Amino acid sequence: MPRIGAARAAARRRQIIDAALACFARRGFHKTTMQDVVRRSGLSPGAIYCHFSGKQDIILAVVAERRRRETALLQRAATQQTLAAGLDRLVADFIAALAAPEERAWRRLAVQLWAESLHDRRLLGEVRRGVDIPRRRLAALIDRARATGGAPQGLDPDAAARVLIACYQGLALQLSWEPGIDVAACAAALRGLLRLDRERPRTRRRAEKSAARR
């Protein structure tokens, strides 16, 4: 079989992954067969098996790709000047983005993969990395904010990062059950909750100054 160039090989993998994602979103991970992916991609079975050993191999590639994309979004949030700006960026890139149909389709698949990972060690490793990497980056962002007074000193960065991730995962799960949820309202509510938490130190300082004057 003649070799194909790197660019063409990457394009072929992209074609297969896109076809698999469309199939998974429509039929679910378990009901999708490799023949479904073959038909959707328009490629021959041999062309697909040159790049992937099977459905499991494709889904691992999909999860790894999503992890890289989300890591880049987290890095963008981490470059913001303040914790407040970074959190607003995260809400826009992750929570508000759930309004997009393609993002909802991916999240429906992600919910299936969370359940599947309980019985598949390779998949569990990818899913865990998809949480551990954001958790560490968010914790570092919060820790830097503590050092500059932008976050309460008593706030546990790792615990706070886990709660932020849980908000995102929980909303994604609810959307899989109830697609009509108003994502924009949820994003606004989360922004409000985050601002409320950021206002507390200032409110406390004002109250302390007022008490001292009395």
What tens digit of pLDDT does each residue of 52-74 get?
A: 999 989 999 988 888 888 899 98
Distance, CA of 77 to CA of 140 (rounded, Å): 12
- Residue at 124 is within a domain: yes
Predicted TM-score (pTM) above 0.85: no
- Residue at 58 is within a domain: no
- Tell me the CATH number at 4: 1.10.10.60
Once rounded to an integer, what is the mean pLDDT over residues 127-134? 91
Q: Are residues 73 and 5 in the same domain?
A: no
Distance, CA of 74 to CA of 93 (rounded, Å): 9
203 pLDDT band, cuts 50/70/90, is: very low
CB 36 within 8 A of CB 100: no
Q: Are residues 78 and 148 in the same domain?
A: yes
Q: Are residues 14 and 72 in the same domain?
A: no
Once rounded to an integer, what is the mean pLDDT over residues 92-118? 88
Degrees to nearest 5, angle at CA 33 with 30 and 35: 170
Q: Label residue 44 exposed, middle or buried (CB < 10 Å: 0-12, 13-18, 19+).
A: exposed
Whether 202 shows a pLDDT value over 80: the answer reads: no
Q: What is the largest CA-CA distance in the chain?
A: 87
Number of domains making up the chain:
2
Q: Are residues 48 and 151 in the same domain?
A: no
- How confident is the model over 159-187, as pLDDT tens digits? 999 999 999 999 999 998 998 999 999 98
Higher pLDDT, 196 or 66: 66
CB 33 within 8 A of CB 48: no
- Tell me the CATH number at 105: 1.10.357.10
103 pLDDT band, cuts 50/70/90, is: confident
4 pLDDT band, cuts 50/70/90, is: low
Q: Label residue 169 exposed, middle or buried (CB < 10 Å: 0-12, 13-18, 19+).
A: middle
Buried b (16+ CB within 10 A) or exposed e, 68-98: eebeebbeebeeeeebbebbbbbbeebbbbb
Question: What residues make up the domain containing 8?
Answer: 1-52
148 pLDDT band, cuts 50/70/90, is: confident
What DSSP designation does 33 have?
-
Distance, CA of 38 to CA of 55 (rounded, Å): 11
Within 10 angstroms of residue 20's Cβ, the number of other Cβ atoms is 25
The mean predicted confidence, pLDDT, of the chain is 86
Q: Are residues 32 and 4 in the same domain?
A: yes
